[in-house]
Amino acid sequence: MEKTPARLTAKPSWLITQLAVHAHRLASDGFGEMGARGYHYRVLVALEQFGVASQAELGRRCNMDRSDIVATINELAGQGLVERTPDPDDRRRNLVTITTAGERHLRRLEQTLDRVQEDLLAPLTSEDRQTLTHLLTQLLAHHQRG
């Protein structure tokens, strides 16, 4: 088995990238088993937490491109997981609401994502998991400000 060069494994940026690829694959596989995608989870979670939103608001909250948010909402609406209605204040804009079926689906997606987290973080103690999450949150917040 070939070893990775030590100068790579000593770089946090390299380690984060490698882990991100693995984490994405685990989440994609888990969601895929349910006929879902990560974008579905993002939108449903945002709707549940913040309530009714326009497609543009959802795109910003979920950090999704306009075309991706439209396609995702189309998919979710087609499955009866969200409802899209014209905004009474601006008929050019759609408002999106999570349905009861969408809330149930979100619960199942969260169970899947919890299993993914468990698999991803298996070698870490509970305290180490909290520390890692705290540090990653700090890094992300710092770079999002810039």
Tens of pLDDT, residues 72-126: 999 999 999 999 999 898 888 999 999 999 999 999 999 999 999 999 999 999 9
Q: What is the pTM of this model?
A: 0.88
Mean pLDDT in residue range 2-12: 92
Q: Would residue 1 count as lying in a domain? A: no
Q: Would residue 122 count as lying in a domain? A: yes
Q: Would residue 77 count as lying in a domain? A: yes
pLDDT-based confidence at residue 28 (cuts at 50, 70, 90): very high
Q: Which domain holds residue 53?
A: 6-145
Q: Would residue 22 count as lying in a domain? A: yes
**41-78 confidence digits (pLDDT tens):** 999 999 999 999 999 999 999 999 999 999 999 999 99
Q: Would residue 81 count as lying in a domain? A: yes
Q: In sequence order, which residues have a C-beta less than 8 Å from that of residue 45 and are 6 or more positions away? A: 106
Mean pLDDT in residue range 29-51: 97
Q: Would residue 111 count as lying in a domain? A: yes
CATH of the domain at 33: 1.10.10.10
Q: Would residue 118 count as lying in a domain? A: yes
The count of structural domains within the chain is 1
* Beta strand residue intervals within the chain, DSSP E: 53-54, 82-87, 90-98
Closest CA to 23 of 103, 100, 96, 120: 120
